[in-house]
Amino acid sequence: MLIDAHNHPNWHGHDADRILANMEEHGIDRMWLFTWEVPATDYSPTNHRVLPPGGVGIPLQDVLSVGRAAPDRFVLGYMPDVKRPDAIDRLKAAVEIHGIRVASELKQRVPFDDPDALDIYHFCGEQKLPITIHLDYPIATGYRYPRPNWWYGGSLDSFERAVAACPETIFIGHAPGFWAHISGDDRALTESYPNGPVEPGGRVLHLLDTYPNLYADLSAGSGLTAISRDPAFGREFLVRYQDRLLFARDYFDGRLMAFLKSLNLEPAVFDKIACRNAQRLLGDAE
Ligand SMILES: [Zn+2]
Residue spans of the domains in the chain: they are: 3-281
CA–centroid distance, residue 180 to ligand 1 (Å): 17
Write out pLDDT tens, residues 162-179: 999 999 999 999 999 999
242 Cβ neighbours under 8 A, 6+ residues apart: 269, 272, 273
Write out pLDDT tens, residues 202-250: 999 999 999 999 999 999 999 999 999 999 999 999 999 999 999 999 9
| pTM of the complete model beyond 0.95 | yes
- Which of 10, 84, 103, 104 shows the shortest CA–CA distance to 48? 10
Please give the sequence-ordered ranges of beta strands (E in DSSP) within the chain, or none if there are none.
3-7, 30-33, 74-76, 131-132, 171-173, 214-217, 245-246
CA–centroid distance, residue 219 to ligand 1 (Å): 8
**3-281 in CATH: which number?**
3.20.20.140
CA–centroid distance, residue 95 to ligand 1 (Å): 20
CA–centroid distance, residue 209 to ligand 1 (Å): 25
CA–centroid distance, residue 272 to ligand 1 (Å): 21
Write out pLDDT tens, residues 102-154: 999 999 999 999 999 999 999 999 999 999 999 999 999 999 999 999 999 99
Is the pLDDT reported for residue 286 higher than 80?
no
Please state, in angstroms and rounded to a whole number, the distance separating the CA atoms of residues 198 and 183: 5
